[in-house]
Amino acid sequence: MHVTDVNKTPSIFSRTNPFQAKVLKNVNLNGSGSKKETRHIELSLAGSGLTYLPGYALGIIPQNDPELVASLLEEMKWDAETPVVINKEGETLPLKQALTDYFEITLLSKKLVQSAAPFTENEELHKLLSPEHADQLKEYTNGRDLLDMLRDFGPWKATAQDIVSLLRKMTARLYSIASSIAAHPEEVHLTIGAVRYTAHGRERKGVCSVLVAERIQEGDTLPVFVQTNKHFHLPEAQEKDIIMVGPGTGIAPFRSFIEERAVTKASGRAWLFFGDQHAATDFLYQEELEHYQQDGVLTKIDAAFSRDSAQKVYVQHKMLEQSQELFEWLEGGAYFYVCGDKLNMAKDVHNALLEVIEKEGKLSREEAEAYVKAMQEQGRYQRDVY
Ligand code: NAP
């Protein structure tokens, strides 16, 4: 049983009618000298009727970077105030506002390049669109945005309306919720890694993460909604043990799990595997987690710092080091959770789990796979990976 009853009164706020949540706190969790910037933000849900369970996500509808919008206006010599129609209903907005609030401008799709073709005679673009250059087109769109396309394939015989009509509506960014509403009534907390990198000669910024890192202050509001997640949740039974693997921002839902279990005084044990670059600057929520360990809410914390030693140490290495105990927990019915990077980490952790089961259960690879499959069927292996 959860302490939070999510179904008591449905909120009027949703993806299509987001709630303007006030920012109560916005801090960088990384210490000075870190290569990373991870924001902890606390939002007020007061008056919204919104609530959530551990494992749910929060959607934020972001605004685009004003510098990027200014670069687009400058590149195309567009007037910021020109009214443009933004949707089928015929609503209009001044161009600058439409580019800031309404349209997706940081992603480039094959479809967008194709639909822009009638507005330019640029030979390079038409060549890229020929069937024999499909691979080059795919490579071109990867990591580039609208501004790249407009710069690369002019001159354009297009009005601002012609171009914005090709754009998609801004989509919400979803973040795993990092708090328990039972621990923080009428609040929701998030853990957001600022995404910044250079590609194709330009600095690139994550739309929502950098909005939060650079332009959102305490007292401002953000349009938000709650996204349920049926596939990532605490066990119904309080006495069940949980094993949580959450490196980097993957820690977020586990902070929620731990807070919830502290409030409900769950008797089940909890084991956290955390990882990041450096112990001194990147141990997210270290103090809180250590307090929970002292209080017995968290039974064990194993942290892997990848860049403190010559050889990289990751969460899966910590799992393997403790394979015997890990297997004992699994044999006792523990739930196993993974959150964070999908591309590499989640795969490696999956393989480490198989290795632990194979070794400690004295099973073949096929038998270990069947063991994991059974865990999945029982809902005892859950992932929230992105
Ligand atoms: P992160 O970049 O995932 O880093 C957290 C820790 O995980 C670091 O110590 C990192 O080590 C380590 N790590 C790297 N590869 C790993 C692997 N294969 N197995 C286990 N641990 C591994 O954390 P974050 O900054 O919170 O980033 C999370 C966000 O970045 C997510 O959105 C994720 O999808 C995205 N991301 C994407 C990619 C990608 O290539 N698609 C890669 C990383 C992150 P080192 O960095 O020292 O190797």
Nearest to 243 by CA among 318, 325, 358, 329: 329
Domain 66-164 has CATH 1.20.990.10: yes
Nearest to 327 by CA among 288, 291, 299, 368: 368
| pLDDT per residue as tens digits for the range 72-116 | 999 999 999 999 999 999 999 999 999 999 999 999 999 999 999
Q: Is 248 in the pocket of ligand 1 (CB under 6 A)?
A: yes
Distance 43 CA to ligand 1 centre (A): 26
| CA 147 and chain centroid, separation | 25
Q: Under CATH, which number does the domain 242-385 receive?
A: 3.40.50.80
Parts of the chain belonging to CATH 3.40.50.80: 242-385
The atom number, within ligand 1, closest to the CA of 250 reads: 26
Q: Hey, CA dihedral for 12, 15, 16, 19, is it positive or negative?
A: positive
Going edge to edge, which strands form the sheet with 173-176? 173-176, 57-60, 221-227, 19-28, 38-44, 187-193
Q: Is 343 in the pocket of ligand 1 (CB under 6 A)?
A: yes
Distance 10 CA to ligand 1 centre (A): 36
| pLDDT per residue as tens digits for the range 163-209 | 999 999 999 999 999 999 999 999 999 999 999 999 999 999 999 99
Parts of the chain belonging to CATH 2.40.30.10: 19-62+172-227
Q: What pLDDT score was predicted for residue 1? A: 42
- Based on the number of CB atoms within 10 Å of its own CB, is 258 exposed (0-12), middle (13-18) or buried (19 or more)? buried
Residue 237 CB neighbours (<10 A): 12
Q: Is 37 in the pocket of ligand 1 (CB under 6 A)?
A: no
Tell me which residue has its CA closest to atom 40 in ligand 1.
343
Residue 98 CB neighbours (<10 A): 22
Among 1-5, 164-168, 173-177, 302-306, the range scoring the smallest mean pLDDT is 1-5
| pLDDT per residue as tens digits for the range 33-74 | 999 999 999 999 999 999 999 999 999 999 999 999 999 999
| pLDDT per residue as tens digits for the range 200-255 | 999 999 999 999 999 999 999 999 999 999 999 999 999 999 999 999 999 999 99
On the question of pLDDT at 6 being above 80, the answer is no
Q: How confident is the model at residue 10 (pLDDT cuts 50, 70, 90)?
A: confident
Parts of the chain belonging to CATH 1.20.990.10: 66-164
Distance 248 CA to ligand 1 centre (A): 7
∠ CA 168-172-173, rounded to 5° = 120
Which CATH architecture fits 19-62+172-227? Beta Barrel (2.40)
Q: Is 35 in the pocket of ligand 1 (CB under 6 A)?
A: no
